[in-house]
Structure 1
Amino acid sequence: MAGEPQADCLFCKIVSGDVPATVVKETDTTVAFRDINPQAPTHVLVIPRVHYPDAASLAVAEPQIAADVLREAAEVAAQDKVDAGGYRIVFNTGSGAGQTVFHAHAHVLGGRGLNWPPG
């Protein structure tokens, strides 16, 4: 059922504390933690505590929580002091776009040049 924790989901296991992560910020609706394979000096994932497979399904079902993810992404950027120099928020949707964990999540990237288009 959408929104419910999934037993086979890595990010649901991080939310529940069953899998360790380097958590940098938590709220009632989100968890932010460092990516284990960082692509920039700041690379933090911000996830909703509820399970939806991607950002679009989260936004349709629970728009306030989708907004919470975006707000917390900005908070993480400020906390890591990359907000003044610029940062990127990325939502990959589908395996063809590089999504490997099918639990909605935002990548917060900063601390180096982020030319467009990404490579």
Structure 2
Amino acid sequence: MTSGQGTDCAFCDIVAGTAESSVVYQDDLVLAFLDILPFTPGHLLVVPREHAPGLADLDEELGAHLFRTAHRIARGLRAGPLPCEGVNLLLADGAVAFQEVFHVHLHVIPRTVRDGVRLHANRRQPHRATLDLMAGRIRDALTAEHGESRA
């Protein structure tokens, strides 16, 4: 489905020009605009012009272009006038991963030491045997999907 055609998608509306946005960058494939609920000043989103609800729905080449664009923007943020000592790239895929708008989007979040943004999790280091078992299962799934393994 292309942007703005029969969707109830806020990002498709932005891509179509029927909703307001503060555009930072655009080309034939992607659009980057400031987030209206930013974690930090300069927090922006890079979205494909083509509607894709989740990462699995996104063409790999378009996904690569999305990340290349975010990479370029991150370099610009570090060199620009806004406070930026680091950058987080975040892609939330699915409701359980905190995706709120179901149109793939990559957050580019400028960071400073005192910005107050924190990622918290109850992390524990598993045994090597558990990691090796998980790695094997993921490799098997990749082989089943793509017919190859790169490990």
Judge same fold: TM > 0.5, yes or no: yes
Q: What is the aligned partner in structure 2 of residue 78 from structure 1?
A: 75
Matching of residues 98-117 of structure 1 within 5 Å? 98-113=98-113
Cα deviation, residue 19, structure 1? 0.2
Does structure 2 retain, via aligned residues, the 8 Å contact 1:30–1:48? yes
SS of structure 2 residue aligned to 1:33? strand
Q: Distance in 1 between matches of 2:15 and 2:41?
A: 24
Shift in alpha-carbon separation, 1:82–1:54, aligned structure 2, 3 A: farther
Structure with max Cα Rg: 2
SS for the counterpart of 1:81 is helix
Deviates most, 62-71 or 5-14: 5-14
Are 1:118 and 2:116 matched, yes or no? Answer: no
Structure 1 moving runs of 4+ over 6 Å? none
Cα-to-partner distance string for 1:6-39 (whole Å, 9 max, x where unaligned) = 4211000000000010000001100000000110
Is 1:33 matched up with 2:30? no
Over 3 Å counting, the alpha-carbon distance change for 1:111 and 1:66 in structure 2 is same
Q: Which structure is higher in helix share?
A: 2
Contact 2:2–2:49 (Cα < 8 Å) also in 1: no
What is the aligned partner in structure 2 of residue 63 from structure 1?
Answer: 60
SS in 2 for 1:41: coil
Q: Unaligned regions of 5+ residues in structure 2, if any?
A: 121-151
RMSD: 2.4
Corresponding residue for 2:18? 18
Structure 1 residues 28-76: Cα deviation after superposition (integer angstroms, max 9, x where no partner): 1000000001102331100000001122321xxx111101100110111
Q: More strand by proportion, 1 or 2?
A: 1
5+ residue gaps in structure 1?
none
The structure whose RCO (Cα within 8 Å, separation 6+) is larger is 1
